[in-house]
Amino acid sequence: MLDTARIRADTPAYADRTGEPPVFLDSAGSSLPPRVVLDTVIEHLRREAEIGGYRAATERLDDLAGVKSAIGTLINADPTAIALSDSASRAWSDFFYAVPLVPGDRILISGSDYASNAIAALQRARAAGATVEAIPSDETGQLDLAALDSMLDERVRIVSLLHVPTNGGLVNPVAEATRIAHRVGALVLLDACQSAGQLRLDVAELGVDAMSATGRKWLRGPRGTGFLYVRPQVCRELEPSRLDLHSASWTGPQEYRLAAGATRFEFWECDVAARLGLGAAVQYLLDVGPDAVFATIAAHARRLREGLGAVTGVTLRDLGTAHAGIVSFTVDGRDSVEVWKQLRQADITVTVSHSGSTLLDMSARGLDSVVRASPHCFVDTAELDRFLTAVADLAR
């Protein structure tokens, strides 16, 4: 069972505040870190100011290695299969741009794929003479596995899967889709930006060839952090589009050798303090119990869906049959940005997901935007109810 009191005491936004606490429902955007993350980052920055960045980083080499070990424990991967990055988008792109493409190759993207992924796919397709095709959704809104199966042939090089979209609580059937894609030898790249930290991730069970994630959302790490997992058998066959003296070694006037494992997807220069903070965030999650955190997030999201579903004038916009911690909705007669502003005046933090972020899905549903509420485990039921009351007042 989750120790909510401890988690709130460990969160500066609650422990250091006097008066009524905020209602924070934007962990799908950038969550509230626990104190250990804040302290880890600040302490390292102070150490850099005392002795310089090089020496400070050398002092923390074991701790930096521990960041990958903690992530490996969380996703059931060997640390050598993990590359640290400055964002999920960077991690996703680093793998995507390393996959060779030739004229006639096909790239499949999810119907709810994120704009950054789709833009990268379109750019590479244009340069290589490949094509980009969207996998249809089924009647529930999730990835249509039968349609995916019918689209596959030997020309499909990459299948981009989205675990949880940015604009709703849908959870796609990743493991099943991966097994289908592998029948024709296609590589599967999973965007776990919205699932890492709120859903169980086991890369061995999912079977994906690569997976990208961010630190700032459900993992409660610093901004400017992320990671990439690459299946070892696949990693050995790929050369990143850009290299430096960390991702490769200069072995002769005209020769270089790629680094072993996923390190080849890293650059030497990085924000050491932020990476240590990411490690602290992942370790904190492991210490408090991932399963209990995931269950609490799921329970909070169910409470919001049930509460919003009972409000006249509010329409839930989540698709699929399995749901995660994102709850999307609209209020009749109210622009989503207006709803966001009104809630912010009441110290309730949500966000708005616009059609440009998930163009195919939102256009198909005729939506310009939705309000997105994403409660983490540190939120209590009284705060959830304050949010529901505020939305009901707006709807009236």
pLDDT at 81 over 90: yes
pLDDT score for 111: 93
**Hey, what are 92's tokens?**
């996703």
pTM over 0.85: yes
* Model pLDDT for residues 35-48, shown as the tens digit of each residue: 999 999 999 999 99
Range(s) within the chain of domains with CATH label 3.40.640.10: 40-287
Q: What is the separation of C-alpha 327 from the centre of its chain, rounded to a whole number of angstroms? A: 16
Q: Which pLDDT band holds residue 18 (cuts at 50, 70, 90)?
A: confident
Residue 284 pLDDT greater than 90, yes or no:
yes
Which pair of tokens denotes residue 316? 């839930």
- Shortest CA distance to 203 belongs to which of 73, 111, 86? 73
CATH code, residues 40-287: 3.40.640.10
CATH 3.90.1150.10 domain locations along the chain: 4-33+290-395
Give residue 16's pLDDT band: very low, low, confident or very high (50, 70, 90): confident
Helices (H), the chain: 4-9, 12-15, 35-51, 53-59, 61-75, 88-96, 115-128, 145-151, 174-182, 203-206, 232-235, 272-288, 290-309, 336-345, 359-364, 381-395
pLDDT digits (tens, 9 = 90+) for 153-178: 999 999 999 999 999 999 999 999 99
Summarised one tens digit per residue, pLDDT across range 110-127 is 999 999 999 999 999 999
Pairing type for strands 351-354 and 369-373 reads: antiparallel
Mean pLDDT in the chain?
Answer: 97
Tens digit of pLDDT for each residue in 301-316?
999 999 999 999 999 9
The pLDDT confidence band at residue 222, using thresholds 50, 70 and 90, is: very high
State the Cα angle at 228 between 225 and 233, rounded to 5°: 165
**Residue 357 scores a pLDDT above 90:** yes
CATH of 4-33+290-395, one of 3.40.50.2000, 3.30.1300.10, 3.90.1150.10, 3.90.105.10: 3.90.1150.10
242-255 per-position pLDDT tens digit: 999 999 999 999 99
270 pLDDT more than 90 = yes
The pLDDT, as a whole number, for residue 296 is 98
> Is 154 within 8 Å of 184 (Cβ atoms)?
yes
Sorting pLDDT into bands at 50, 70 and 90, what band is 367? Answer: very high
Question: Can you give the pLDDT at residue 344?
Answer: 97
188 contacts 208 by C-beta, under 8 angstroms: yes
pLDDT for the residue numbered 20: 87
Cα–Cα distance, 163 to 324 (Å, whole number): 10
Residues sharing a CB contact under 8 Å with residue 148, sequence separation 6 or more, in sequence order? 108, 135, 159, 177, 180, 181
Percent of residues, the chain, with pLDDT higher than 90: 98
CA dihedral for 82, 87, 88, 92, sign (positive or negative): negative
What's the whole-number mean pLDDT along residues 230-249? 98
